[in-house]
Amino acid sequence: MKLKNTLGLAIGTLIAATSFGALAQGQGAVEGEAFYKKQYNDSINDVEDGRRPGVSIGYFLTDDVSVNATYEKDDYTRSNNNTGSQKIRGDHFGLKSQYHFGTVGDAIRPYVEGGVSHGSMTNVAADGHTGRDQSTFLTTGAGAKWYITDNLYARAGVEADYKLDNGRWDYAALVGLGVNFGGTGGKVAPAPVAPVAAAPEPEPEAPVAEVVRVQLDVKFDFNKAVVKPNSYGDVKNLADFMKQYPNTTTVVEGHTDNVGPDAYNQKLSQRRADAVKQVLVKDGVSANRVHSVGYGKSRPIADNSTDAGRAANRRVEAQVEATAK
């Protein structure tokens, strides 16, 4: 009963922790998790399969690589060789590293892992005698994490433990629930925007020059960063204007709706801005005259609660001004 209460308290703490605004994934994040394993024993004679709940704490060295310290409690594993229904108890302490595939902000991130652990189990001797088995294991495994929110995730995976003492294997299937906090969130600083030189003031009594302007508004499909063919003409108009006025520059600004994690939308908006820049360059504008920057979902122009509003927010905007002679 104490074990169940402890595990329940740990899970409740993980869920409550998601209310803190400082939580974030990515490099520098600390990750805490409570998990439950179904253990299939083969490394110790006369011991049946059991269960192994535990907790772990990890630190992300990069956006993809974490180092994790683990503690696991052997529970309800039984001797089965004429020794009755002895209950086996034990502790496992481990250190492992996980490599996560995909990018920060993805809803599902598969992983592989490897490491070492040390276990100590009581009451494992046969013929009614008690004893303690202390062993070192090499551990490997794989699985996936599902990020329910930016910071709360569920995990499912499989692990295999190789016992160095006798060259035999144990196997486990596991599920877990965890949170992470304190990381960068995978966000990168927006690209610097080139300053636009102000037009010189006209001399007194001189006629005011006419300022001409071209604006661009390209829409994108949901979760896409591909310029649609029906927008090529608008992009070409902007390119022709910039070729007509070779001293002009422009900033191409990418935006998204509010569906999905912040970090993912930031990267998606940058890809959209880069896609429009590539079309401008293909149409003959020098790359150093076009700067692209993504703003994610931070600058909506319409209500994200409607389909039409979200469609309006999935956009890339740009404008160019020039002084006509």
How is domain 2-181 classified at the architecture level of CATH? Beta Barrel (2.40)
For CA atoms 136, 141, 147, 148, the dihedral sign is: negative
Phi and psi at 99, nearest 5°, equal -110, 125
Rounded to the nearest angstrom, the gap between the alpha carbon of residue 282 and the centroid of all alpha carbons in its chain is: 33
pLDDT in tens, the chain (325 residues): 444 554 454 445 444 444 444 557 788 889 999 999 988 877 777 677 778 899 999 999 998 999 999 999 887 566 555 555 567 778 889 999 999 998 888 889 999 999 999 988 776 654 444 567 788 999 999 999 998 887 889 999 999 999 898 888 888 999 999 988 877 766 655 666 666 677 777 666 555 556 777 888 889 999 998 999 998 998 999 999 889 888 889 999 999 999 989 999 999 999 999 999 999 999 999 999 999 999 999 999 999 999 999 999 999 998 888 776 6
Give residue-wise pLDDT tens across range 25-78. 788 889 999 999 988 877 777 677 778 899 999 999 998 999 999 999 887 566
- Tell me which amino acid residue 134 is: Q
pLDDT for residue 207 = 55
pLDDT score recorded for residue 8: 52
> Three-state SS for 223?
coil
What's 210-324's CATH class? alpha beta
What pLDDT is recorded for position 15? 45
Taking CA atoms, 197 is separated from 25, 248, 249, 281, in Å, by 39, 9, 10, 22
DSSP-assigned letters across all residues of 292-306: EEE-TTSS-SS-TTS
| Structural domain boundaries in the chain | 2-181, 210-324
Sheet of 315-324, strand order: 210-219, 315-324, 250-254, 290-294
Q: What is the pLDDT of residue 103?
A: 87
Beta bridge partners of 162: 138, 169
pLDDT of residue 267: 93
pLDDT at 155: 94
> What pLDDT, on a 0 to 100 scale, did the predictor assign at position 77?
62
Tokens 């869920």 correspond to what residue? 15
Q: State which H helix or E strand residue 152 sits in.
A: strand 152-163
Cα–Cα distance, 258 to 300 (Å, whole number) = 9
Residues forming beta bridges with residue 95, ordered by sequence position? 69, 116
Interstrand relation of 87-100 and 65-78 (parallel, antiparallel or unpaired) = antiparallel
Q: 89 by DSSP, 3-state: which?
A: strand
